[in-house]
Chains A and B, each alone.
Chain A
């Protein structure tokens, strides 16, 4: 079969491209145990710097590459110094979130500087190609492959044979021990970020040339694929990252061959989950495992909770209930209705991420599940809305928990990656399962909220229904937190090894936590579906997951009132700052960074 050769070659070519990003991610993870979500942004910066060098300075490729390496290396040092080093003593979730914030800021700055339009980045390389199978390989393909290989070899040599490389390995192995024998671990971190970022920038340049296309949105896709490839190869394993990238490229290419392009990312993420569940150390990890008394220290910031007096809560609830009595403010009601719906998602996420310590990056998938469940129940099965919405909550709880169950055995970063993957899988299945979901056309004519014959489609009615559901869900969650379950969840979060030693089954309690969270998030999605009357697979995107996480952090992890406060603040503030249109997301990123730096426990504190 000639075509299989073509699929294989194409898979290796794209795998090569993923490798360029994955190597940098692996290097950083190896030393800092950090998934650098800002890596894709550095990659995008590399592409734009290259574009500027070509366009304004007419530099030849080698000089352009040099400039890109220097600028991005410098940017890496800056990220390490300003964004991450101040968090050295912070809980491990802080640097992870900081890289997400840095990524938001960099992407937005790029978009403001260069406009969101895609730009061409023509390759100055000679136009020669050789034919292999029935396809061809060009000079750029060779250059990309060579860059990937050479950088892997050089890195290997650097780590193995130089003094700084020795220090990097020592730091990766045991930071404290390395410091004790005189290794300047800050210098090591700086060097690692500089090298990885320089490589990331160079990748952006080369990949931009390969596609002749750069745009500010390229960053997220690059990070996503780089992380997947890295997990396949084994987190922090540099040669493994290259191998994992090639395997990912092949899997995608063969997957397209078998089922078509729409399924491509489904293959990436299913592969990701399989690896995470079956070989969490990656395909190429050595058999050596570490004994299971890991270091203590928690993923979540220790903090004291700000006690909100009950009368203040009561007053706020009463005020919220009375808002619709003010005449002629449908816009305010709509914004607040959105805030209540986001608050349902936020308290759901704060339960799993804050109380249970499982930082989910795919929570928007629960909204999708709930929205589709309720929409299809009303339209295809003729259920009344008042029944379909809670049923959608139950279905979301069941499906969501079942989907995430394989990830119950995972910890910290791995949970985040797995949930990110699960979120994408849900969205792709909804897109592709046309007989049930109507595919990309989405579901139209979803009936409005109603109880019996009473239609709740006025802004006031939507507001009160959403608020009522939120109050009930929040009340239940507070009750749950005060029960033995709250204690057990938080014990799992703080130290799952110790929790197990006292008879706490992780599967059981993670299951209960995700089910309760899924119910609330599913209700939120279902109500939104009836308010919008139309949904498709893009109604709730991964951006919503990140926004929800920001709300949770803002309010304080695990803090129900904090989650609601975060949701109201982050729904209302962008509305207030409408005048600053293009800068909105930038402000958002900066606020996130400042929060992580100066109040990692959130406004109301971690519960």
Chain B
């Protein structure tokens, strides 16, 4: 116990920006997420977004003279470890909010613990519709599939799709997305020819694509993450399947283009976040991100950045206590955000409405804003 306490403190200090150490006691957020295991890549993206936000917050003197910091506990997105981490956080009075976990089994297993301790669990990647129903201390600014999918369907219609085929990850996220898309489609004159689920570890999509092709669609809608989305586009390209592709916001990542190569050229990508977006909060985020990491941000790092900024703002406006976090989330209005233009939480669903959706198109190996021309 003594040992782990020391390590915790070590971790806390380690996440402080070294340049401008502020003497006062830091305000701490606890982060529960994957640093190892199969989802480690997402934890790594989170860290980049968090650290960038902290550079700005603490660079500007922190909050009320105190630096903001986070303690990142590796849960491997495994429920067993996530509940242990939760107990650790709730028992530590210095932690005033919890961010994460990544996957639903881990996040939702920990929810009862946070709820009982009245520590806000802020799941910024948790799109499972039941996540915020776990208790009144479960909040999320994850893009909401009930909101996103009608937008995606609308763009499908605008692109001239009449009979799209849907390929979706067969996980809680992919299922939520698919159900929302299928619900929105008929009202927009779309007749979905088939909806094919696939497993997260899948790499060979050729037979799935043949199946989709045989349903005679005029376009493919991918409810995928970027890695599998890229594989699908590539294999469609390689097998000569010349259908326009429309993909969900979760595929927006530089990796989508890197992994997809020629296969994703011409693909339409829905996004809530686009580096070319002229809004100042986007521009400053993108510029800072490129400067710090020499790479392009994606929607995971943008979400993490938004969340850490939100945390700092909550501390600043409502005070650095657990109670203030809950009160602040109920009260805060029009918080500027990279993903959303302005963030206001719905006190009933404890989620955010009104992300900025725009359609991008991959052209010459980079994302560009869709020019409004229908797909062939």
Contacts and interface: CB of A to CB of B under 8 A. Distances in A.
* Direct contact between A and B judged by beta carbons closer than 8 A: yes
A422 interface: no
Given A252-B207, A532-B108, A579-B10, A539 B79 contact: yes
Interface string A571-602: 10011101101101100000000000000000
Interface stretch (A259-267, A290-298, A500-508): A259-267
Contacts of B210: 3, 6-7, 10, 135, 257
A543 B77 CA distance: 12
A412 B86 CA distance: 40
Interface of A: 3, 6-7, 10-11, 13-14, 17, 108, 111, 115-120, 122, 127, 129, 131, 134-136, 138, 211-213, 215, 217, 221, 252-253, 256-257, 260-262, 264-265, 328-335, 338, 341-342, 431, 439-442, 444-445, 448, 457, 459, 528, 531-536, 538-539, 543, 571, 574-576, 578-579, 581-582, 584-585
B207 A265 contact: no
Contacts of B81: 338, 574
Contact of B105 (A253, A538, A575, A578): A538
A447 to B, nearest CB: 10
Interface stretch (B157-165, B233-241, B332-340): B233-241
Nearest to A140: B238
A445 B109 CA distance: 10
A585 B103 CA distance: 20
A221 B200 CA distance: 11
B238 A578 contact: no
A299 to B, nearest CB: 30
Contacts of A582: 35-36, 40, 74
B80 A578 contact: no
Contacts of B103: 538
Given A257-B210, A440-B175, A211 B203 contact: yes
Interface stretch (B254-262, B286-294, B350-358): B254-262
A108 B40 CA distance: 11
Interface stretch (B57-65, B166-174, B275-283, B322-330): B166-174
B196 interface: yes
Nearest to B130: A444
A576 B230 CA distance: 39
Given A457-B112, A576-B4, A442 B105 contact: yes
Nearest to A428: B199
B198 A261 contact: yes
Nearest to A116: B40
Nearest to A584: B36
A136 B90 contact: no
Contacts of A442: 104-105, 108, 172
Interface string B1-39: 101100110110000000000000000000000011111
Nearest to B208: A261
A459 B86 CA distance: 12
B261 A212 contact: yes
Given A111-B36, A213-B227, A10 B202 contact: no
Given A135-B239, A332-B1, A533-B111, A338 B84 contact: yes
Nearest to B202: A261
27 contacts: A6-B239, A10-B239, A116-B40, A135-B239, A138-B238, A211-B234, A213-B259, A260-B197, A331-B88, A334-B84, A334-B86, A334-B87, A334-B113, A342-B80, A440-B172, A440-B197, A442-B104, A442-B108, A444-B108, A531-B109, A533-B108, A534-B105, A535-B105, A536-B172, A576-B3, A581-B35, A582-B36
Interface in B217-258: 227, 230-231, 234, 238-240, 255, 258
A137 to B, nearest CB: 9
B204 interface: yes
Nearest to A112: B36
Q: Which 7 A-B pairs have the closest CB atoms?
A: A532-B109, A534-B108, A579-B7, A116-B40, A334-B87, A256-B207, A10-B206
B44 A330 contact: no
A257 to B, nearest CB: 6
Contact of B38 (A120, A217, A341, A439): A217
B83 interface: yes
Given A136-B240, A138-B238, A533-B109, A111 B40 contact: yes
B207 A253 contact: yes
Given A253-B207, A256-B207, A264 B36 contact: no
Interface string B129-154: 01001100000000000000000000
B341 to A, nearest CB: 29
A448 B84 contact: no
A262 B255 contact: no
A136 B202 contact: no
B139 to A, nearest CB: 17
Given A115-B44, A118-B255, A135-B206, A264 B84 contact: no
A322 to B, nearest CB: 15
Given A441-B172, A536-B104, A575-B84, A585 B36 contact: yes
A262 B170 contact: yes
A578 B7 contact: yes
B87 A331 contact: yes
Contact of A262 (B40, B88, B197, B227): B197
Contact of A531 (B35, B83, B134): B83
A334 B204 contact: no
B211 interface: yes
Contacts of A332: 1
A536 B105 contact: yes
B255 A117 contact: yes
Contacts of A120: 255, 258-259, 261
A213 B230 contact: yes
B128 interface: yes
Given A265-B199, A539-B79, A576-B3, A257 B207 contact: yes
A184 B213 CA distance: 57
A539 B201 CA distance: 16
Contact of A578 (B1, B4, B176): B4
A52 to B, nearest CB: 16
Contacts of B41: 115-118, 215
B51 interface: no
